[in-house]
Chains A and B, each alone.
Chain A
Amino acid sequence: MTDVTELTLAAARAALVKREISAVELARAQIAALEAARVLNCYISETPEQALAAAASSDARLKRGEARPLEGIPLGIKDLYCTKGVKTTAGSRILENFVPTYESTVTANLWRDGAVMLGKLNLDEFAMGSSNETSYFGPVISPWRRPGSNVKLVPGGSSGGSAAAVAARLCYGATATDTGGSIRQPAAFTGTVGIKPTYGRCSRWGIVAFASSLDQAGPIARSVCDAAILLRSMAGHDPRDSTSVDRPVPDYMAAVGTSVRGKVIGIPKEYRLDGMPPEIDKLWGEGVSWLKAAGAKIVEISLPHTRYALPAYYIVAPAEASSNLARYDGVRYGLRVPGKDIIDLYEKTRAAGFGKEVRRRIMIGTYVLSAGYYDAYYVRAQKIRTLIKRDFEAAFAAGVDAILTPATPSAAFGLGEKGSADPVEMYLNDVFTVTVNMAGLPGISVPAGRSAEGLPLALQLIGRAFDEETLFGLASAIEQSAPKIEPPSKWWT
């Protein structure tokens, strides 16, 4: 076999079951690949010994014919998921030396199904960012470059390490999380597939919290089929997360490649933004033609409160973050900077432990929740959230099965290019993705073409609550129709 790191997860799984390759060989190949790609800064922690030990026990099971669904598949884990005995930093100095004594439910589900951990993936600090530039451990460098250029590009964020590692073939798939677009935007920037499932589909237990009513776990993968395989293992009810939903997890893979004939696809006119680059508009039009050619019915719809989603998000998310991050006090875990009294200890610890963007969001959140402003900002934003959700409900009630939009307003940009003067410039990256979190719906980002500069572009499909299967079916139709995006050349080796 040639380079095994080029296989999809589905193909690697088939090769393992047929015993054409061993899990240890697969793990060794991935470890070599990620060690040769340290310049990309994808992994904060590498766990090669653990990976090889897990792979050896997977080989024993494969030999006995007792393979579990992800037996022997090496994965990368976003460093927001607590992993027992393995440092979990959330990309922050305040958790630089935090070693959980427990395992997150989603990662425990992956190990239950036989997956192998390669290491912990870089991210924006506490998942706050759209470019992976806010990580205390330095930015992730995208494996993608503009042709003929060596300008360093961002992989998107906050799951930038996850997306870059999957695109650069440094793992067969990765876990990620999405609060406003943190799975779908980096997937779009790197030519990978990312799905944010319905709120409540995956347990949030053991995942470092950012904004609890918006956070949701999901995979980033090399193909729609790979994403379906991973989500099936990650999802499921967990008594330890009261917002996780107790309903059976379907076999998502069975939905991949199913006919989309007769499906009704809504095209929301409010997503046609002023000043949207023509290539994004063109890509969207191509998506419409592919689905139409596959037998879907296209209808124009209206989601009138769309424009308020991003501003409302920048009240709700910081408010919840300021509350969630109150736990980092220098007393129970994490960094501690001594002070003359307990208040001084808190203030010095949090000033030193949190980066600029995190401090900014905690401050905004504290402001909008403070006495006299709570109703004007927070309660109003939560009412607008109800209106955003109603818009979607009306579209689905009128017979729409899924909604097609662009995933991002542009292709990947260079390091340091955005947000240095005005934080809002960076926030606009999430304009197409954030509505989905506000309404708790599932959304998938699927590669669909290339920008004029040769960089990946993607489309987003939004579905009814708990109807990820329709999204996998439609996304695979787009994957079949779109020009194939070859992985980036390995300039780092």
Chain B
Amino acid sequence: MPVDQAIVRRIAHLARIELAADEVAHLACELNAILAFVEELGAVDVEGVEPMTSVMPMRMKERADVVTEGNIADAIVANAPATEDHYFIVPKVVE
């Protein structure tokens, strides 16, 4: 079993998701089931194969380096849970 409870806790912290103590064992089982499902990929010969990075072969378009949509601060903070003068408010980060 590649994923134990310590790994589950570490991944949850990396993903910034709080876990209840009683969720950990169950989640380890589920993650292991999914990882067992993808295990057969290890058998595929991928020697010399390029990983797909673009679904459709196309040249990325460039655009002029100018402001396209600006001066919309009201719209940007419209859905924020806490704001003040167009700033997002968060708990104190720097002591």
Q: Does B21 contact A (CB under 8 A)?
A: no
The residues in B between 5 and 59 inclusive whose CB is less than 8 angstroms from any CB of A are 7-8, 11-19, 27, 30-31, 33-35, 37-42, 44, 46, 49-53, 55-56, 58
Q: Which stretch in A61-69, A97-105, A402-410, A468-476 binds the other chain?
A: A97-105
Q: Which of A242, A344, A384 interacts with B46 by CB under 8 Å?
A: A384
A332 with B80: CB separation less than 8 A: yes
Interface size on A, residues (CB 8 A): 72
Taking A308-B41, A386-B50 as contacts, is the C-beta distance between A367 and B93 under 8 angstroms? Answer: no
Do A312 and B41 touch across chains, with their CB atoms under 8 A apart? yes
Residues of A within 8 A of B52 (CB): 213, 382-383, 385-386, 389
Q: List 29 A-B contacts (CB under 8 A).
A: A99-B79, A101-B75, A239-B63, A243-B56, A246-B61, A308-B41, A312-B38, A312-B41, A332-B79, A335-B81, A336-B82, A341-B92, A347-B13, A351-B18, A351-B19, A354-B17, A359-B17, A360-B27, A363-B8, A363-B27, A367-B31, A379-B51, A380-B41, A382-B51, A382-B53, A383-B46, A383-B51, A389-B52, A440-B55
Query: Are B18 and A198 touching (Cβ within 8 A)?
Result: no
Q: Can you name 5 extra interface pairs (CB under 8 A) apart from A308-B41, A312-B41, A370-B14? A: A99-B78, A314-B37, A336-B81, A380-B44, A465-B56
Chain B residues near A97: list those with CB within 8 A.
79
Question: Closest residue of chain A to B75, judged by CB?
Answer: A101
B31 touches A385 (CB 8 A): no
Please tell me if A377 contacts chain B, counting CB pairs below 8 Å: yes
Does A366 belong to the interface (CB within 8 Å)? yes
Main secondary structure of the interface of B (DSSP, over half): loop
A416 cross-chain contacts in B, Cβ below 8 A: none
- For residue B66, CB closer than 8 A to chain A, the reply is no
* Distance, CA A407 to CA B38, complexed state (A): 22
Do residues B17 and A350 form an inter-chain contact, with CB atoms below 8 A?
A: yes
- Enumerate chain B residues within 8 angstroms of A350, measured Cβ to Cβ: 15-18
| A108 CB-CB contact with B under 8 Å | no
A397 CB to nearest B CB, Å: 15
Q: How far is the CA of A77 from the CA of B94 in the complex (A)?
A: 43
CA distance A379 to B52 in the complex (A): 9
Mask: chain A, 281-313; 1 = CB below 8 Å from B; 0 = not:
000000000000000000000000101100110
Residue A483 interfacial (CB < 8 Å): no
**Residue A322 CB within 8 A of the other chain:** yes
Q: Chain B nearest CB: distance from A423 CB in Å?
A: 6
Interface: A345 (CB within 8 A): yes
* Cβ of B90 under 8 Å from chain A: yes
Question: In the complex the two chains form, is B91's CB within 8 Å of A342's CB?
Answer: yes
**Which of B30, B41, B58, B81 has a CB less than 8 Å from the CB of A381?**
B41
Q: How many A-B residue pairs have CB under 8 A?
A: 159
Tell me if B27 and A345 are in contact (CB < 8 A): no
Given contacts A350-B16, A385-B51, contact A342 B90 (CB under 8 A): yes
Closest to A318 in B: B34
* A334 partner residues in chain B, CB cutoff 8 A: 79, 81
> Contact partner of A362 among B17, B75, B82, CB < 8 A?
B17
B residues in contact with A315, CB < 8 Å:
38, 41
Contacts of B80 in A (CB 8 A): 331-333
Q: Contacts A198-B56, A336-B81, A367-B11 hold; do A347 and B46 have CB atoms under 8 A apart?
A: no
Q: Which residue of A lies closest to B29 (CB)?
A: A422
Instruction: Assess A311 versus B40: contact at CB under 8 Å? Given A99-B79, A360-B30.
Output: yes
Contact (Cβ within 8 A) A339 B91: yes
The 8 closest A-B pairs by CB, nearest first: A382-B51, A333-B79, A440-B55, A336-B81, A347-B18, A101-B75, A351-B18, A383-B46
A310 to chain B, nearest CB (A): 8
Interface pair A366/B90, CB less than 8 Å apart:
no
* CB pair B75 A239 closer than 8 Å: no
CA distance A196 to B84 in the complex (A): 43
Please judge, given known A-B contacts A332-B88, A366-B15, A384-B46, whether A311 and B38 are in contact too, CB under 8 Å: yes
Chain B residues with CB under 8 Å of A101's CB are 72, 75, 78-79
Q: Does A213 contact B55, Cβ atoms closer than 8 Å?
A: yes
In the complex, chain B residues whose CB is within 8 Å of the CB of A1? none
Q: Is A245 an interface residue (CB 8 A)?
A: yes
Query: Pick the contact of A386 from B11, B51, B72 — CB < 8 Å?
Result: B51
User: Do the beta carbons of B14 and A311 come within 8 Å of each other?
Assistant: no
When the two chains form their complex, are residues A424 and B37 in contact, meaning their CB atoms are under 8 A apart?
yes
In this assembly, does A490 line the interface, its C-beta being within 8 Å of a C-beta of chain B?
no
* Chain B residues with CB below 8 A from A432, complex form: none
Find out whether the CB atom of A331 lies under 8 angstroms from the CB atom of B91: no
Complex Cα distance, B53 from A14, in Å, reads: 44
In the complex, which residues 64-87 of chain B have their Cβ closer than 8 Å to any Cβ of chain A?
72, 75, 78-82
Measured in the bound complex, the distance between the Cα atoms of B57 and A439 in whole Å is 12
Rounded to whole Å, the gap between the CB of B57 and the closest CB of chain A is 9
Q: A261: shortest Cβ distance to chain B, in Å? A: 30
A243-B56, A332-B80 known; A345 vs B91 contact (CB < 8 Å)? yes
Least CB distance, A370 to chain B, in whole angstroms: 6
Could you tell me if B91 and A387 are in contact, using CB atoms closer than 8 angstroms? no
**Within the assembled complex, what's the spacing in Å between the Cα atoms of A367 and B30?**
13
Residue on A nearest B93 in the bound complex, by CB = A342
- Complex contacts, B61 vs chain A, CB 8 Å: 239, 242, 246
- Asked if A15 is at the interface (CB within 8 A of a chain B CB), the reply is no
| A200 vs chain B, min Cβ distance (A) | 5
